[in-house]
Amino acid sequence: MLIIISLDMNRLFLLLICVFEGSSTVFSQQNIDWNKSSIISPQINIDNTVTFRLKAPYAHNVEIQGDWMLTGERSFGKRKMSQQCNGIWTYTTPQLSSDLYSYSFVVDSVRVNDPNNVYIVRDIATLANIFLVPGKMGRLFKVSDVPHGSVIKRWYNSPLLNMTRRITIYTPPGYEDTSDKYPVLYLLHGIGGDEESWMSLGRASQILDNLIAEGRAQPMIMVMPNGHVSKGAAPGESDAGFYKPVLSDSDAFNGKMEESFKDIIRFVESNYRVIADKGHRAIAGLSMGGFQALCISANYSDTFDYIGLFSPAMLLEKTCKFPIYRDLDSKLQMQAKQCVKVYWIGIGKSDPLYKTVLEYRNHLDKLNINFVYRETNGGHTWTNWRNYLAEFVPLLFK
C-alpha cells in the first residue's frame, strides 16, 4: 500500500527539525532508565553508620564486602544483607571512623558494584565503589572549598629505558600565576599500581590541597611516575591496548626503575620551575615503591633530603643479584653522612611485611642511622598509605 502525504516546504522543514532533535535526545540519554526508582546507596547517617541498598528481587542471597571489615592482608570480610518486601536488600554498618572506604556486593556468589553509586576506583584489575565518612581524616580526603592545584598527565622520554612514558604531575595552587620555584616530592606506587594509583586510590591531590590550605604543608610539586619500566603507561593508556592488569610484573625489583630515575628528575627539572637541590627534593613510596624509594635515595645519596618508606617491600635477598641493590650498608652510611633531614618509616601491625620492616629498623639502629618510625593498626592497605602521606607531607621542606 502506498501512502502519499502532501506537505508544504515550511511544514516539512519544521517536521525534520523535530525528528532530528528528538533523535538527538534519545541517543544522548540512551542510558537513562526512566522507570528506575530512587534508591540511595550508600547513605551516610548522622552517627557515621552507613546504610547500603540494592534492588535484587530475584536474588537468593546478597552480601556486602568492604575494607572496613578486613579479615587478612587484603581480604574483605562479608556481611549478609536483609531482604525487604519490596525486593530491596539493605545493610547498615556499625559506626565507622572518618575515612575513605571501598566496597562491593556479592549477589548469589557473583561480585557486583553498586548501581546507585557512580564513584568507582580501580585497584589492579578490580573495580570497587567508594564513599567518604566525614570527620578528621575524611576532611583531608575530600574536595574542599580551598584553592586547588592542577594535575596533568604528561609524556617524557627516558633515554636509559629507550622509550616514552607517561607521568602524573601535580602543581600547587597558584603555580600558573607566579614565577616562583617550588620543591618536589616524587611519590611511587606499589607493585599492582601505575601512575594513576596515588591520584585515584591515594587521594594525593586532595591531601595536598587541604594540607596546603591549612598551612600544614609547603606548596610543592608532586611527581607520580609509573614504576613498571616495561609499561609506557597505565592499562589502556598506551599502545599496549586494552589488557587485563595483573598484580605482579616481571619488571618489578629488577633495578631498572632505580637506574633510570635520573631521567625523571631531569625531565621535571627541565620543564617545571623547581628548586633543584637536595634540600628541596623528597622521595616516598608504598610497598614496591617504598623499596624503590629506599634504593634510589641510597644510590643517589646527594639527591634527597626527605625519604618516606610506606610499608616498604624489603626484598634484599631476592634483589641482591642486581648491581644497584648491592652494598646497601655502605650506601646507607654515605647517605647518613649527607645529613638527611627526615628518614620516615611507616608500617601496620597486621601487615605481612611487618617483620621485615622491623628487621630493617633494627639494622638502621646498628648503623647508627636516625629515622622516624610510625607503627599503626591495620595491614597492607590504602587506608594506611593515605594516612602515612598525610603525616609525611607536613614534615617536608621545613
User: 272-316: per-residue pLDDT in tens?
Assistant: 999 999 999 999 999 999 999 999 999 999 999 999 999 999 876
Rounded to 5°, the CA angle 178-183-184 comes to: 115
Report CA dihedral (43, 46, 50, 55) to the nearest 10 degrees. Answer: -30
| Per-residue model confidence (pLDDT) at position 320 | 65
Closest to 396 measured CA to CA, from 219, 198, 246: 219
| CATH homologous superfamily of 43-134 | Immunoglobulins (2.60.40.10)
φ, ψ (nearest 5 deg) of residue 206: -65, -40
Query: Do residues 130 and 119 make contact, with C-beta atoms less than 8 angstroms apart?
Result: yes
| Per-residue model confidence (pLDDT) at position 36 | 53
Separation of alpha carbons 290 and 311, rounded Å:
7
| Per-residue model confidence (pLDDT) at position 292 | 96
Question: 112 pairs with which residues across the strands?
Answer: 105
Cell numbers linked to 259: 637506574
| Three-state secondary structure call for residue 208 | helix
| Per-residue model confidence (pLDDT) at position 251 | 86
| Per-residue model confidence (pLDDT) at position 211 | 98
| Burial category of 19 from C-beta neighbours within 10 Å (exposed 0-12, middle 13-18, buried 19 and up) | exposed
Separation of alpha carbons 103 and 101, rounded Å:
7
Distances (CA, A) of 220 to 128, 140, 183, 283, 337: 30, 17, 5, 12, 26
φ, ψ (nearest 5 deg) of residue 182: -130, 155
How do the domains of the chain map onto residue ranges?
A: 43-134, 141-395
Question: 153 pairs with which residues across the strands?
Answer: 168
Cell numbers linked to 335: 647517605
Separation of alpha carbons 269 and 287, rounded Å:
26
| Per-residue model confidence (pLDDT) at position 246 | 84
Place of cell 552480601: 63
Fold of 141-395: Rossmann fold (3.40.50)
10 Å Cβ neighbour count for 141? 22
Residues of the chain with pLDDT below 50 are 1-28, 34
Separation of alpha carbons 197 and 232, rounded Å:
15
Query: Do residues 27 and 73 make contact, with C-beta atoms less than 8 angstroms apart?
Result: no
Separation of alpha carbons 157 and 264, rounded Å:
9
φ, ψ (nearest 5 deg) of residue 355: -65, -45
Separation of alpha carbons 331 and 323, rounded Å:
12
Sheet holding 88-92, edge to edge: 43-44, 50-55, 88-92, 82-83
